[in-house]
Chain A
Amino acid sequence: MEPSRQPKRQRTAQFDSGRDNRIKEEPDTAIFSDPHDELPFIAPPPSSQPEQAEQPSFDAELFTTIVGERLTTDKLKQLENAAGGNMERAINMYFDGSWKNTRPTQIANPLMKAARQQASKKRKESDPVIKAESTPEYTRPKNLPFDKRYLGVLQAEGWTTCSGTNLLQYGERVTIHREKLRTPAPAKKGTAAAKGAHLRQRKTADLIVRFKNSRGFEVGRLEQDMAKFVSVLIDQRLCSFDGTVVYAPEQCRMNDTVYLQLRVFLLGEAFDQNRNFKETRVVGDLFTIQETEEEKDVRQRQASLVRLFDKIGLEAVVKGSGMDAKKEILKAAESLEEIEAKSKAGTPKPVIKKEGGEEEEEEGEELEQDQLDELYRKAQSFDFDSPEAEPSETFAMDLRRYQKQALNWMLSKERNESLREGSMNPLWDEYKWPTVDEEGLELMDAGQGSFYANLYSGEMSLQFPKQEQNCLGGILADEMGLGKTIQMLALIHSNIPEGIEVPKQSNDLLPYEPKVHTIDYAPYTTLVVAPMSLLSQWESECDAASKPNTLKTMVYYAAGREDLRKLCTGHNLMSAPNVIITSYGTVLSEFSHISHTGTDRVLHGGLFSIRFNRIILDEAHNIKNRNSKTAKACYELEANHRWVLTGTPIVNRLEDLFSLVRFLRVEPWGNFAFWRTFITVPFEEKNFLKALDMVQTVLEPLVMRRTKDMKLPDGSPLVPLPPRDIMIEQIDLSEQERLVYDHIYNKVSATVNANIEGGTLFKSYTSILAQILRLRQSCCHPTLVRRKDVVADEEEADAARDAANGFADDMDLAALIDKFTASESQETQNVANVYGAHVLKQIKEESNISECPICMTEEIENLTVTGCFHAACKECWMQHIDYQKKHDKIPLCVACRAPINDRDLFEVIREPPSALPTPTIGTEPPSAPCLTQSSTEPTIRLRRLNRKSSSKINTLISKLLSFKSASPPDLSKSIVFSQFTSFLDLIEPELKLSGIPYLRLDGTTPQATRKSILSRFSDSPLPLVLLLSLRTGGVGLNLVAAQNVFLMDPWWSWAVESQAIDRVHRMGQKGKVRVWRFVVRGSVEERMLRVQEKKKFLAGTLGMMGKEEMRSERIEDIKVLLGK
């Protein structure tokens, strides 16, 4: 064995990229010891040579004192070379790690140099397999309490790989060892090729565990089940094994079974605290991309350990979590392996995630509604008599009782810093060392009675694992509209850390010098992370909730970023902003920046450079996917107190909650292995009760959740909200609209039929969905069908493009739409230009006419005049014109018999002679002519009667106008929601023509403008209309200034519409809320309502479902929609 040793040793020196360079390099000790050296404890390795012996110019002693670590001779040499003999540089290089990238140029030891040459020669000629026993990737620290220690025995089967007589004999000692494929020479770090090579090697690294007989011949392999975990334990340097032959045939043939008894030793290294187990801890450095590999290591390690403990019958004496996890962990590991096996069998998925595109595959099964209900039930059992807390003086708002109770709860969560003294970390278990060996002989005692193992990460420790930190925050999961923001602001005001020392004045004289590598604490600053659309709302609520000058707020995003360290820490403490509001996008982009460029998080000066007093994640379901980069970025933010706000802590998977818990750093649940073991796996195994019970255990101490329909003990509602009326406004399509609709309907129907027959419904899902989308659009406005850029829903966007192209070839449809739009082109023509003020005057005089000439009604409804200035009701004109056309006559004016042109009909809009300011907000100067003589005279305005406008738009306009002309005028504000921004585009000019002041907000509105739009909407005395895209406005916004809601088109799920309504009908709403849901009679929209009804109970999907599930669900919907 000896001759082969040197080259291997040398290789270590060459390739050891240093898992942990602080660990002192040692001449290799046989970890897989000589079979004769079978005492549980190996004699200490020969001490290393004095390192500094050969370094006259480079004072190694001094170096060692400075860096505080002992390095091996060749490492020192390497450093010295890299630094060109410069001591200072060497120290710097040592600390920043750059020296590792340099190759040793000189080999100090001539013997080793020779060995190296020999090795490289040998490598060239021999197979690429190099014995693992001699390639320690990881070098053992010197100060271990022991090398290895006996743990127990297990029975193993093996099979022979060669034949012969007396290969193995009863009682013969065998050595157990692993062979590993040679690690390729570390090519340039980070290149794709290197990673790829690494991966390939990984995959092919099999699980073979070989054994040699006492003469050193390799005779066989361990049977696979055993090898599976033994290999991992050996590879990961946790254990070593040796064996005794229990049975072996005298005459061995290939593939004969042999029975072995394996003795297991825990290696001292397993207990080394410096091992790089970082990523398994919650507080890990996640700025690395290659996480999945490490995660896999962890998983294998933990599973192998559990299997080992199981096989040798080792039982924990104290279980940290109080639960017997062994079975669960095994189950979890197995299920993962199954998944892995499956995915390997199927299309192989790249393990390395692409850096650009976020791969957000969701995992875990979806919850049924009744399960969700069950989950929430416990969390919602709110004690109405729980104590209240008064907010601080500086808080300017009044809290409701339940809000004060929440404040009290939050304060107690934040202040609960006292940990139960000496409680064990719940992830750890305590084990006793065996006192006797397998033959009952007493073992030598190393003074350690027990050891500790974390079966969720595979970590081992000899020290008692204390629970480090409790979660000083929680989940405020009140339903929307209960004032989560206000409650948080009360908390911000009411719990300000005391006794923080402001750095002395003298420091001010010194220029600010950032301390490198330490994350400074910003004790007075709370970070709020919210979706972009809510930033300005947070800002204004901060102002509203605070007495003047008591709360400094800062919005932090994109432009104008500052060094937060300067702002919030050090001697600027007193002027530090109390609340920094930022978006998820900002967090993500800073995170990506740091992880891609490798900038130091502290030096970056951004969100990651300081430790906040408190972090609040608003709409925290944004991080529900733990694999999303946003979630990972959020985990990395540092704070004393961590809170999440969400109305839906579980959207549709239990894993949604995990991500929140992980963010909160709640031990042990923040450990995914733990979570998987106790929640995901039982749930997947349909052991629902158990899983849900566990989740409740997690939720109970963490979550405060109240719902709007909760009743106080006296029966009164928790939050009295003004009533709301939801009305379905049935719309009848005009004849021409109907033609377009029917055309598309027949087409879709045919497609679906064909696909149902062919069984290809799922395949052609996208195109069908797109066609249905068109169908829905045609209910709104026929010309929408032609637009390509219509869809708010990403899922549908591509499909929509296809459909647009498909329809482009459809000449019939084109003709239909053309017919519809024939006279629309001049729509924008200014009436005043054509007819002049003269017309208006005349109308004004004539508009006193007492009755309609057609229906003889005295109060003319929607007085409408022709181009020849003759007036009648709008409806009467329509009827007349339609009648004439139907009888192939040219419609004539009923009064003068002049031909009437459809386009030249104008609705007369008389504005009450009120003192209303001229509406200028949002609209351009009114394009319809105005005639104002004095403020007491009514203003008259003409609106071209756009018969080519859609029925929906017409209905909307007349509704809005009817508010205006009501007596007294109804000045309430209205919100118009549509999921099609291009539909909003079409509504806009109509509002303009009718002189209805409006504002608009959609996804394209820049953040800076949003705030001013919202405040204009709230502050204006005018009966403004706000056009909102359902996607933008559906979530979060507070629009209590409005009382009327128009939902122009139904969405797939009621939850989304309901959310939109709740923007208006929420806390702070003072008036009755009226909601009109526009639905075209006898159309796909009516059936959508039925689909909605069917799943009204589903938790708000908010478009956050996975692609697949959304599809299969919608296919069902499609069938309903088309009556299949």
Chain B
Amino acid sequence: MSLPKRILKETERLRNEKDTGIKATIHGDNLRYFDVEINGPEGSPYEGGVFELELFLPEDYPMSPPKVRFLTKIYHPNIDRLGRICLDILKNNWSPALQIRTVLLSIQALLGAPNPDDPLANDVAQKWKEDENAAKATARQWTKEYAKKVSDQKEEA
């Protein structure tokens, strides 16, 4: 199946994307497979970290949502150990009007506003509810430990 124009167009736009703290580049030859980097939002335990994700556009995209997964280990009640994300727009609330960019921005927003009431990683959610500060500290700790530094990213650039 040929690549819908929309994907080309989105790819093109993502390339020119600046200042939002999200970045998606095509992985190798597969035009449906993206390497994604998301900067941890300011004021969140993830600030200063750059998280790597992989994003795949299924055959019936944009009718069905893209598949996204964190590659970088992250301590977050809505993201499990395998990097799977619990986010409504990636499931039932998907709309073809959403794009790769909006999905990534939503994930970024999720980092800023975890939702322990709708957990994916139960243990993390439990912690978050019991002792939010301790949980955030762990998150900060993990970010330091596993995520790239924003400064490194800049150097790379």
| Chain A residues whose C-beta falls within 8 Å of the C-beta of B60 in the assembled complex | 883
Is A162 an interface residue, CB under 8 A from the partner? no
Please tell me if the beta carbons of B63 and A856 are within 8 angstroms of each other in the complex.
no
Most chain A Cβ neighbours within 10 Å, of B60, B62, B93: B62
| Chain B residues whose C-beta falls within 8 Å of the C-beta of A897 in the assembled complex | 93, 95
Is B18 an interface residue, CB under 8 A from the partner? no
Is B81 an interface residue, CB under 8 A from the partner? no
Most chain A Cβ neighbours within 10 Å, of B6, B62, B95, B96: B96
| Chain A residues whose C-beta falls within 8 Å of the C-beta of B93 in the assembled complex | 897
Known: A879-B63, A883-B63. A855 touches B95 (CB 8 A): no
| Chain A residues whose C-beta falls within 8 Å of the C-beta of B99 in the assembled complex | 856
Bound-complex Cα distance A897 to B99 (A): 15
| Chain A residues whose C-beta falls within 8 Å of the C-beta of B64 in the assembled complex | 883
Bound-complex Cα distance A677 to B5 (A): 77
Bound-complex Cα distance A248 to B93 (A): 119
| Chain A residues whose C-beta falls within 8 Å of the C-beta of B95 in the assembled complex | 892-895, 897
Bound-complex Cα distance A919 to B96 (A): 38
Closest chain A residue, CB of each to CB of B63: A883
Bound-complex Cα distance A485 to B93 (A): 70
Q: Which of B26-78 contact A (CB under 8 A)?
A: 60, 62-64
| Chain B residues whose C-beta falls within 8 Å of the C-beta of A27 in the assembled complex | none
Known: A856-B10, A880-B63, A883-B60. A894 touches B97 (CB 8 A): yes
Q: How many residues of B contact A (CB 8 A)?
A: 14
Bound-complex Cα distance A893 to B4 (A): 21
Bound-complex Cα distance A895 to B9 (A): 19
Please tell me if the beta carbons of A876 and B5 are within 8 angstroms of each other in the complex.
no
Known: A856-B10, A883-B60. A894 touches B5 (CB 8 A): no
Closest chain A residue, CB of each to CB of B99: A856
- Binary B-proximity of A875-903 (CB < 8 A = 1, otherwise 0): 01001100100000000111101000000
| Chain B residues whose C-beta falls within 8 Å of the C-beta of A854 in the assembled complex | 6, 62, 96-97
Closest chain A residue, CB of each to CB of B7: A856
- Binary B-proximity of A887-928 (CB < 8 A = 1, otherwise 0): 000001111010000000000000000000000000000000
Closest chain B residue, CB of each to CB of A887: B64
| Shortest distance from the beta carbon of B109 to any chain A beta carbon, whole Å | 18
Closest chain B residue, CB of each to CB of A856: B6
| Chain B residues whose C-beta falls within 8 Å of the C-beta of A880 in the assembled complex | 63, 96
Is A853 an interface residue, CB under 8 A from the partner? yes
| Chain B residues whose C-beta falls within 8 Å of the C-beta of A855 in the assembled complex | 4-6
- Binary A-proximity of B1-33 (CB < 8 A = 1, otherwise 0): 000111001100000000000000000000000
Closest chain B residue, CB of each to CB of A889: B92
| Chain B residues whose C-beta falls within 8 Å of the C-beta of A894 in the assembled complex | 95-97
Closest chain A residue, CB of each to CB of B60: A883
Contact check: which of A856, A879, A893 meets B9 at CB < 8 Å? A856
Q: How many residues of A contact B (CB 8 A)?
A: 14
Is A857 an interface residue, CB under 8 A from the partner? yes
Please tell me if the beta carbons of B96 and A853 are within 8 angstroms of each other in the complex.
yes
| Shortest distance from the beta carbon of B62 to any chain A beta carbon, whole Å | 6
Closest chain B residue, CB of each to CB of A883: B63
Please tell me if the beta carbons of B97 and A853 are within 8 angstroms of each other in the complex.
yes
Bound-complex Cα distance A853 to B99 (A): 9
Q: Which of B95-115 contact A (CB under 8 A)?
A: 95-97, 99
| Shortest distance from the beta carbon of B105 to any chain A beta carbon, whole Å | 16
Q: Which of A848-886 contact B (CB under 8 A)?
A: 853-857, 876, 879-880, 883
Bound-complex Cα distance A856 to B4 (A): 10
| Shortest distance from the beta carbon of A899 to any chain B beta carbon, whole Å | 13
Bound-complex Cα distance A803 to B2 (A): 46
| Chain B residues whose C-beta falls within 8 Å of the C-beta of A857 in the assembled complex | 5
Most chain A Cβ neighbours within 10 Å, of B95, B97, B99: B97
| Shortest distance from the beta carbon of A407 to any chain B beta carbon, whole Å | 63
Contact check: which of B9, B10, B96 meets A876 at CB < 8 Å? B96
| Chain B residues whose C-beta falls within 8 Å of the C-beta of A856 in the assembled complex | 5-6, 9-10, 99
Bound-complex Cα distance A482 to B10 (A): 60
| Shortest distance from the beta carbon of A887 to any chain B beta carbon, whole Å | 8
Bound-complex Cα distance A883 to B61 (A): 11
- Binary B-proximity of A53-71 (CB < 8 A = 1, otherwise 0): 0000000000000000000
Bound-complex Cα distance A868 to B63 (A): 20
Closest chain A residue, CB of each to CB of B95: A894
Known: A856-B10, A883-B60. A895 touches B5 (CB 8 A): no
| Shortest distance from the beta carbon of A320 to any chain B beta carbon, whole Å | 83
Bound-complex Cα distance A856 to B97 (A): 9
Bound-complex Cα distance A880 to B94 (A): 12
Bound-complex Cα distance A856 to B100 (A): 13
Most chain A Cβ neighbours within 10 Å, of B9, B60, B95: B95
| Chain A residues whose C-beta falls within 8 Å of the C-beta of B63 in the assembled complex | 879-880, 883
Bound-complex Cα distance A879 to B64 (A): 11
| Shortest distance from the beta carbon of B134 to any chain A beta carbon, whole Å | 37
| Chain B residues whose C-beta falls within 8 Å of the C-beta of A876 in the assembled complex | 96
Q: Which of A914-953 contact B (CB under 8 A)?
A: none
| Shortest distance from the beta carbon of B99 to any chain A beta carbon, whole Å | 8
| Chain A residues whose C-beta falls within 8 Å of the C-beta of B96 in the assembled complex | 853-854, 876, 880, 894
Most chain B Cβ neighbours within 10 Å, of A855, A856, A892: A856
Please tell me if the beta carbons of A895 and B97 are within 8 angstroms of each other in the complex.
yes
Bound-complex Cα distance A324 to B9 (A): 90
Closest chain A residue, CB of each to CB of B6: A856
Bound-complex Cα distance A893 to B95 (A): 8
Bound-complex Cα distance A895 to B95 (A): 7
| Chain A residues whose C-beta falls within 8 Å of the C-beta of B5 in the assembled complex | 855-857
Closest chain A residue, CB of each to CB of B62: A854
| Chain A residues whose C-beta falls within 8 Å of the C-beta of B6 in the assembled complex | 854-856
Bound-complex Cα distance A853 to B96 (A): 7
Bound-complex Cα distance A897 to B97 (A): 10
| Chain B residues whose C-beta falls within 8 Å of the C-beta of A883 in the assembled complex | 60, 63-64
| Shortest distance from the beta carbon of B50 to any chain A beta carbon, whole Å | 28
| Shortest distance from the beta carbon of B24 to any chain A beta carbon, whole Å | 16
Bound-complex Cα distance A198 to B63 (A): 86
Closest chain B residue, CB of each to CB of A892: B95
Bound-complex Cα distance A893 to B10 (A): 21
| Chain A residues whose C-beta falls within 8 Å of the C-beta of B4 in the assembled complex | 855
Bound-complex Cα distance A892 to B5 (A): 23
Bound-complex Cα distance A11 to B93 (A): 110
| Shortest distance from the beta carbon of A565 to any chain B beta carbon, whole Å | 79
| Shortest distance from the beta carbon of B7 to any chain A beta carbon, whole Å | 9
Bound-complex Cα distance A876 to B99 (A): 15
Bound-complex Cα distance A853 to B10 (A): 12
| Shortest distance from the beta carbon of B36 to any chain A beta carbon, whole Å | 20
| Shortest distance from the beta carbon of B66 to any chain A beta carbon, whole Å | 15
| Shortest distance from the beta carbon of A514 to any chain B beta carbon, whole Å | 84
| Chain A residues whose C-beta falls within 8 Å of the C-beta of B9 in the assembled complex | 856
- Binary B-proximity of A488-506 (CB < 8 A = 1, otherwise 0): 0000000000000000000
| Chain A residues whose C-beta falls within 8 Å of the C-beta of B62 in the assembled complex | 854
Bound-complex Cα distance A856 to B99 (A): 10
Bound-complex Cα distance A901 to B6 (A): 25
Bound-complex Cα distance A1088 to B60 (A): 37
Closest chain B residue, CB of each to CB of A895: B97
Bound-complex Cα distance A856 to B102 (A): 14
- Binary B-proximity of A624-649 (CB < 8 A = 1, otherwise 0): 00000000000000000000000000
Q: A-B pairs with the 7 shortest C-beta distances?
A: A894-B97, A853-B97, A883-B63, A894-B95, A856-B6, A854-B96, A894-B96
Question: Besides A876-B96, A894-B96, A895-B95, 19 other CB < 8 A contacts?
Answer: A853-B96, A853-B97, A854-B6, A854-B62, A854-B96, A855-B4, A855-B5, A855-B6, A856-B5, A856-B6, A856-B9, A856-B99, A880-B96, A883-B64, A892-B95, A893-B95, A894-B95, A895-B97, A897-B95
- The interface of chain A, by Cβ under 8 A from chain B, is 853-857, 876, 879-880, 883, 892-895, 897
- The interface of chain B, by Cβ under 8 A from chain A, is 4-6, 9-10, 60, 62-64, 93, 95-97, 99
In the assembled complex, 16 residue pairs joining A and B whose CB atoms fall closer than 8 Å, in A order, are A853-B96, A853-B97, A854-B6, A854-B62, A854-B97, A856-B6, A856-B9, A856-B99, A876-B96, A879-B63, A880-B63, A883-B63, A893-B95, A894-B95, A894-B96, A895-B95
